[in-house]
Structure 1
Amino acid sequence: MSGLTSIIIPTFNGLHLLRTCVEHIRAHTSVPYEIIVVDNGSRDGTAAYCIREKLTLVSLPDNAGFPVACNRGLRIASGDNLLLLNNDCFASPRWLSYMLDALYSREDIGIVGPVTNYASGIQQVKVGYSDLAGFIREAESWNVPDPAKWREVHRIVGLCYLFKRTVMERIGLLDEMYSPGHYEDDDYCYRARLAGFKLLVAGNVLVHHEGSASFRNRYPGGFQELVERNRRRFVDKWKVDPLQFIEERGDAS
């Protein structure tokens, strides 16, 4: 395991989620970390909250979208490990320690993600809780040291996306062509794999995900159109359909 982890949280008018996100990180993280909040032009008091809580804040004048916000955070991050975290994704006991164990289990592992209640593909698992207190109780028994639950995959969903700085040094930042968001994570996974990195789902780490809260807020009528547009952009760029990765449920070949 190595050094500091920079946790980068893009947010847009999601202070109610961001508060919970930060509280969970602080309550359940025992390894060195910094929090960088990239505020996409919120008008809900997010900036004042970040200053009050002494969080590193990047304040953008308008909503530039998820990939742009992530890249702004990545540019100022000082960690050996970089973690892109949705503002509606809530940490659990020992979450980061065990994800780092998976990340540093082999030299060629580049990106690691947890399992969760809400995601596409193999990272979604069946859970039994109905509130956040129940989530923490369930995660307490779920999050145990168990490399047998690590699984090599083709894609990691960007909701909680941990990677080594060496990955960014090799392949660069997220492709902002996908702004405001969707498929930038698939694109990054594809580039990482082309560069020789492997991807792992840490099945021994459960995090909670509220689920596309910001996107559905901003694009209530056009959410599916946005997803389809970016899928076409991925296909045009790589001549590969990213849906293949989802249909195979993340299994590595």
Structure 2
Amino acid sequence: MSGLTSIIIPTFNGLHLLRTCVEHIRAYTDTPYEIIVVDNGSRDGTGEYCVREGLLLVSLPENAGFPVACNHGLRLASGDQLLLLNNDVFVSPRWLTLLQEALNSRKEIGIVGPVTNYASGIQQVKVGYADRAGYILEAERWNASNPGLWLEVNRIVGLCYLFKRTVMDRVGLLDEMFSPGHYEDDDYCYRARLAGFKLVVAGNVLVHHEGSASFRTRFPGGFQELIERNRRRFVEKWNVDPLQFIEERGDAS
């Protein structure tokens, strides 16, 4: 029995994405879950939509950024597993059951992520679909139990980030120094590994990612600047360059 999974979705003026994200969760999840939407001060009817749909809602007065929003959701979450999900990620058949299978396969595995059409590092895979219907057809074939496709890694991208509550109990919340976002997921992976947890990419789970939609809307000119600033903050904190994790295979420690 895997227990309850708390799915935490931060969002900012992304109702068109959030609606599709929630529809996919409801259509393709066959294990117990709750959805917690953390609204970062949207002005597009997100709050009203969440109330209407019966979703748990944390409504922040202004955009406090991704790590802050995630932490609000994590504090409210009641699940044995915690899942941070970007509002522009659309899940597919059996996604959560298969991620849980990888997560619970060994006690020391702490964080698991899927593969996707759009991500940095080894989680990005080549896909053949051109539209949402094609994606679901491809994922139907892709998403099957296959431990041979699990890969131990040093880093998992935070777009769809499943971890055990014991990880949060030991490691804590996301570091809000990285607000509005980028590298808070690398930082969390690093802290989890220091605490003795293993990280696994489940190559047998495919999700669709639209790709940094909120950030590009909010920081159209300074997107790259923001990434570089937070990379420097990571280096200052740990005296390690997180870019090395992107290409690494396996656990180098």
- The TM-score, its normalising length taken from structure 2, stands at 0.99
Q: Supply the AA of the counterpart residue of 1:161.
A: Y
Determine helix, strand or coil for the equivalent of 1:7: strand
Structure 2 CA distance, aligned partners of 1:149 and 1:246? 18
| Equivalence map 1:80-119=2 (5 Å) | 80-119=80-119
Query: Paired residues, what number?
Result: 252
Percent pairwise identity: 81
Structure 2 CA distance, aligned partners of 1:79 and 1:117? 28
Structure 2 CA distance, aligned partners of 1:171 and 1:5? 19
Q: Deviations over 1:184-213 (max 9, x none)?
A: 000000000000000000000000000000
Structure 2 CA distance, aligned partners of 1:135 and 1:165? 31
Q: Deviations over 1:135-189 (max 9, x none)?
A: 0000000000100000000000000000000000001000000000000000000
| Equivalence map 1:132-151=2 (5 Å) | 132-151=132-151
Q: Which 5+ residue runs of structure 2 have no aligned equivalent?
A: none
Structure 1 position 60, deviation (Å):
0.1
Structure 1 position 114, deviation (Å):
0.1
Q: Supply the AA of the counterpart residue of 1:138.
A: E
- The TM-score, its normalising length taken from structure 1, stands at 0.99
Runs of 4+ off more than 6 Å: none
**Structure-2 residue corresponding to 1:125:** 125
Structure 2 CA distance, aligned partners of 1:152 and 1:26? 29
| Equivalence map 1:122-201=2 (5 Å) | 122-201=122-201
RMSD of aligned alpha carbons: 0.6
Structure 1 position 87, deviation (Å):
0.1
**Structure-2 residue corresponding to 1:214:** 214
Determine helix, strand or coil for the equivalent of 1:162: strand
Structure 2 CA distance, aligned partners of 1:200 and 1:246? 14
Q: Supply the AA of the counterpart residue of 1:189.
A: C
Does 1:5 find its partner at 2:1? no
Structure 1 position 252, deviation (Å):
2.4
**Structure-2 residue corresponding to 1:57:** 57
Q: Supply the AA of the counterpart residue of 1:190.
A: Y
Structure 1 CA distance, aligned partners of 2:105 and 2:154? 18
Q: Supply the AA of the counterpart residue of 2:38.
A: V
**Structure-1 residue corresponding to 2:28:** 28
Structure 1 CA distance, aligned partners of 2:246 and 2:111? 17
Does 1:78 find its partner at 2:90? no
Q: Deviations over 1:18-42 (max 9, x none)?
A: 0000000000000000000000000
Q: Supply the AA of the counterpart residue of 2:116.
A: T
C-alpha contact (below 8 Å) 2:122/2:247 kept by paired residues: no
Q: Supply the AA of the counterpart residue of 2:211.
A: G
Structure 1 position 2, deviation (Å):
2.1
Q: Deviations over 1:31-84 (max 9, x none)?
A: 000000000000000000000000000000000000000000000000000000
Q: Deviations over 1:105-126 (max 9, x none)?
A: 0000000000000000000000
Structure 1 position 104, deviation (Å):
0.2
**Structure-1 residue corresponding to 2:250:** 251
